[in-house]
């Protein structure tokens, strides 16, 4: 339970529990010599009063602020509370043994610049500032960054209009972006290919998201925030008390930053009515074996996205160490934690999500059927590499040999309109706050998003839609 014993999520492996409790053993060995920790996660832990598990906190805890989830949003909210009120008691309950085990540690690691979003959105409001704050943070903490920028390229003349629209949005959002011609594009990224014009974003930067989240969690622990890992939220007991793991937590303010499970937790408090999370899986392919000089690209290269969808299309991401990956896909997942095979399968989830997907597929709402068909094809390495190849002059697709760690988007669906919710959403009242739809670029936007959320809470404005 020590906050300093934080192994990297990518060094954790999961295996079925051999003790017959129907759960999974998370087994973590940190290369940094933190030693080994393991705990039992029982099946059916989420709000339905599943059986208890070893390694969880017991007894009772009283705290002024109780946060569910040690992803980047939970951590950013804890940081904001600490900034505003250094003496407040703040506790974070997290079902996994480490911070950022889910989306926050499984994303592209891109600090977005903020030009995709319409100026009236929360995404537009927080992304530019979040990009700046995280770059400052990484500099202060000596965390690796790759300030390689990004180009958005057009495959044909029609897409050139998409480039101009992104430039208009960037200008409105106060983001530094420039339209460049093919010659200038060649100077920025010689291998990029475009039809006429491209968009250059110099402030787009890549970071190691696991290192960033782990660093922030360590800062917070050092500043007195209490972390309870391996402690899943189970249910709302009423009178400002919840059960998490085997512990009753009494709180002044409850903050739900539960990512893929945030809608269910919110419903226990009377929120998230008329919405549900639809999981979309993002998988990556990594370019292997090339020496630094032989890497195909050095700048992030993105296609013009379909602005009607919240996904950006297959693109090249340059990691902090310069290695290259392509992805992520946006494949409809069948349950919330549907990372690989049948691991973490949840039958209630499977039933509900398959039900929604069947309905959206039949009606082709928001183009879901077309999206599903085109995304499923990306399980083929050759097909995925061919999508990336369209963005560059030369590429050896056979080098994309290794699948990277998949991540799952906690995308909110409006169940009345059968449309995906595009902007971040927060609901809550004087007692509880629920972060819903913290989809991309919520990693980038997390610090100003957390500040805005706490500000509204303090002023009593609330968010009930």
Ligand X SMILES: Cc1cc2nc3c(=O)[nH]c(=O)nc-3n(C[C@H](O)[C@H](O)[C@H](O)COP(=O)(O)OP(=O)(O)OC[C@H]3O[C@@H](n4cnc5c(N)ncnc54)[C@H](O)[C@@H]3O)c2cc1C
Instruction: Report d(CA 442, CA 112) in Å as an integer.
Output: 10
Picking from 265, 352, 360, 371, the residue whose alpha carbon sits closest to that of residue 310 is 371
DSSP 196-237: SEEEEETT-EEE-HHHHHHHHHHHHHHTT-EEETT--EEEEE
Cβ 403 to ligand X shortest distance, Å: 13
Instruction: Report d(CA 254, CA 236) in Å as an integer.
Output: 10
Cβ 54 to ligand X shortest distance, Å: 16
In the bound state with ligand X, the residue whose beta carbon lies nearer, of 46 and 400, is 46
In the bound state with ligand X, the residue whose beta carbon lies nearer, of 160 and 457, is 457
Cβ 324 to ligand X shortest distance, Å: 15
In the bound state with ligand X, the residue whose beta carbon lies nearer, of 160 and 297, is 297
Cβ 70 to ligand X shortest distance, Å: 5
Instruction: Report d(CA 246, CA 268) in Å as an integer.
Output: 18
Do 199 and 164 meet the contact criterion of CB atoms below 8 Å apart? no
Instruction: Report d(CA 272, CA 264) in Å as an integer.
Output: 8
Cβ 94 to ligand X shortest distance, Å: 5
Instruction: Report d(CA 353, CA 279) in Å as an integer.
Output: 8
What sign for the dihedral angle of Cα 44, 47, 48, 51? positive
Half-sphere exposure of 257 (CA within 13 A, CB side): 31
Cβ 111 to ligand X shortest distance, Å: 7
Picking from 441, 448, 428, the residue whose alpha carbon sits closest to that of residue 83 is 448
Do 75 and 185 meet the contact criterion of CB atoms below 8 Å apart? no
In the bound state with ligand X, the residue whose beta carbon lies nearer, of 113 and 153, is 113
The residue ranges that bind ligand X (CB under 6 A) are 46, 68-74, 93-96, 100-104, 107-110, 112, 232-233, 257-261, 282, 328, 407-409, 435, 438-444
In the bound state with ligand X, the residue whose beta carbon lies nearer, of 104 and 160, is 104
Instruction: Report d(CA 410, CA 110) in Å as an integer.
Output: 18
Instruction: Report d(CA 99, CA 237) in Å as an integer.
Output: 25
Cβ 295 to ligand X shortest distance, Å: 19
39: three-class secondary structure by DSSP? strand
In the bound state with ligand X, the residue whose beta carbon lies nearer, of 196 and 202, is 202
Cβ 184 to ligand X shortest distance, Å: 25
Cβ 228 to ligand X shortest distance, Å: 9
Instruction: Report d(CA 9, CA 285) in Å as an integer.
Output: 19
Instruction: Report d(CA 336, CA 413) in Å as an integer.
Output: 13
In the bound state with ligand X, the residue whose beta carbon lies nearer, of 113 and 385, is 113
In the bound state with ligand X, the residue whose beta carbon lies nearer, of 186 and 377, is 377
In the bound state with ligand X, the residue whose beta carbon lies nearer, of 237 and 362, is 237
What residue is closest to ligand X based on CB?
71
Longest dimension (CA), the chain: 66
């Amino acid at each position: 339970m020590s906050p300093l014993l934080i192994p990297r999520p990518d060094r954790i492996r999961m295996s079925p529990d051999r003790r017959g409790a129907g759960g999974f053993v998370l087994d973590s060995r940190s290369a940094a010599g933190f030693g080994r920790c393991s705990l039992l996660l029982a099946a059916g832990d989420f709000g339905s009063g599943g059986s208890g598990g070893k390694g969880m906190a017991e007894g009772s805890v009283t705290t002024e602020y109780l946060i569910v989830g040690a992803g980047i949003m939970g951590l950013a909210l804890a940081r904001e509370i600490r900034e505003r009120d250094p003496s407040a008691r703040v506790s974070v309950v997290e079902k996994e043994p480490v911070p950022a085990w889910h989306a926050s540690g499984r994303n592209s690691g891109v600090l977005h610049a903020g030009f995709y979003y319409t100026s009236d959105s929360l995404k537009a409001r927080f992304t530019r500032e979040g990009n700046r704050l995280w770059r400052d943070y990484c500099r202060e903490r000596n965390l690796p960054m790759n300030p390689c920028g990004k180009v958005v390229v057009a495959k044909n003349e029609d897409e050139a209009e998409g480039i101009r629209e992104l430039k208009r949005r960037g200008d409105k959002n106060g983001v530094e972006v420039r339209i460049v011609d093919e010659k200038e594009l060649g100077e920025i990224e010689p291998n990029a290919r475009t039809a006429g014009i491209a968009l250059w974003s110099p402030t787009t930067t890549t970071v190691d998201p696991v290192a960033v989240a782990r660093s922030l969690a360590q800062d917070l622990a050092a500043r007195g925030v209490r972390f309870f890992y391996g402690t899943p939220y189970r249910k709302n007991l009423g009178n400002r008390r919840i059960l998490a793991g085997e512990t009753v937590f009494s709180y002044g303010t409850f903050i739900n930053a539960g990512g893929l499970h945030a809608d269910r937790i919110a419903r226990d408090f009377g929120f998230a009515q008329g919405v549900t999370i639809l999981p979309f899986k993002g998988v990556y392919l990594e370019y292997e074996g090339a020496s630094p000089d032989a890497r195909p690209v050095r700048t992030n290269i993105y296609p013009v996205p379909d602005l009607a969808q919240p996904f950006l299309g297959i693109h090249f991401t340059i990691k902090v160490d310069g290695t290259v990956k392509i992805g992520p896909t946006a494949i409809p997942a069948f349950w919330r934690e549907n990372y690989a095979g049948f691991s973490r399968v949840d039958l209630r989830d499977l039933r509900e999500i398959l039900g929604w997907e069947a309905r959206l597929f039949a009606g082709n709402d928001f183009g879901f059927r077309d999206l599903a068909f085109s995304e499923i094809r990306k399980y083929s390495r050759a097909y995925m590499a061919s999508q990336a190849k369209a963005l560059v002059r030369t590429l050896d697709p056979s080098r994309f040999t290794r699948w990277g760690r998949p991540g799952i988007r906690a995308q909110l669906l409006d169940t009345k309109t059968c449309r995906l919710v595009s902007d971040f959403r927060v609901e809550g009242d004087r007692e509880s706050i629920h972060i819903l739809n913290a989809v991309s670029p919520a990693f980038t936007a997390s610090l100003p998003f957390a500040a805005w959320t706490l500000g509204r809470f303090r002023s009593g404005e609330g968010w009930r839609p």
